[in-house]
A and B are shown apart, each in its own frame.
Chain A
Amino acid sequence: MKEIRWHGRGGQGAKTASQLLADINLQEGKFVQSFPEYGPERSGAPIKAYNRVSDEKIRVHSGVYEPEVVAVVDPTLLSAANPTEGLSSDGILLVNTGKSAEEIKSETGFNGKVLAFNATEVAENAGSGYANVPVLGALVRVLGTDYELARAEVESALLKKLPEEVVEMNLAAFKAGYEAVNN
């Protein structure tokens, strides 16, 4: 079983991305959980969301304490939150940032694998404006998920709530995110 933690700010779509990832993993035939951490939520406040992915039925219902992968949607959370908490040195830290992986390593003191790319810029270039989807694209690559399968799921999920041209922008951002990192 793999455990993933998302850091974002209220309104940035970290929870949505977490649920999209669960949908994608289901399409791979996996068992999944996706849940946010609930507190006094308000727009802009730091939030966390979690995924569990497994080949077997998932029975555990506790919080996630030692994630294998951490995805940071908002660059300011590197200092405002504690994104490396519980992340072992063989884990992966995926960060939306303008800085290099080396800079992130020294900033966080995290010795494991850091994947850094500017998801905000990717989203702006694609016209969608939300960094959650390119981070999801990168995460899909990190997890070794089939790109076409993941893209199709994102497309069908987003089409349920967004107009077609906005979905197209997001799919472009998803692709750019996927291509921005090496597994």
Chain B
Amino acid sequence: MASAPENEKNASAPEKKTLTLKSMINNEEFVVDEHVALQSVTIKNMVDSDCAGDVIPVPTISGEILALVIEYCKNHANPSASEDDLKKADAGIVAKDIYTLIDLVLAANFLDIKGLLEVTSQKIADSIKDLPHQDVREIFGVENDYTPEEEAAVRAEHDWAFEGFP
């Protein structure tokens, strides 16, 4: 039988690489395992192209939101988590008020985390669908660009032509 290779491979676990994410809104810093942070396509691209220093600055995302994002990434980086566990954990993460959800969906979009974008969008859809459209305007900071006549016309279409179908 052939003998064992001369050069002993480094069998000890490789040192876990970490990244530091820093919210540029309130300068809060989060030390995260690299494989957790890499669920963000944006961060992955930075790391892959060697653009990432020791500290990765994250503009426009507050520490509070960043913590939620990291919680999501940690859950989904855990290989032993079952689909059911993840569903429950996701539901917990998005059980927030509408303004937090909007910050979260913007963060998910900026960091390019598809799953988080989806669950947050779903939750937002559920939260706004029963609200009066004036409230929705306020929540999304949308300016009403309808003239009163135009708005009445759209409303009339709904009343008479497009109504009554589930």
Q: Do they bind each other?
A: no
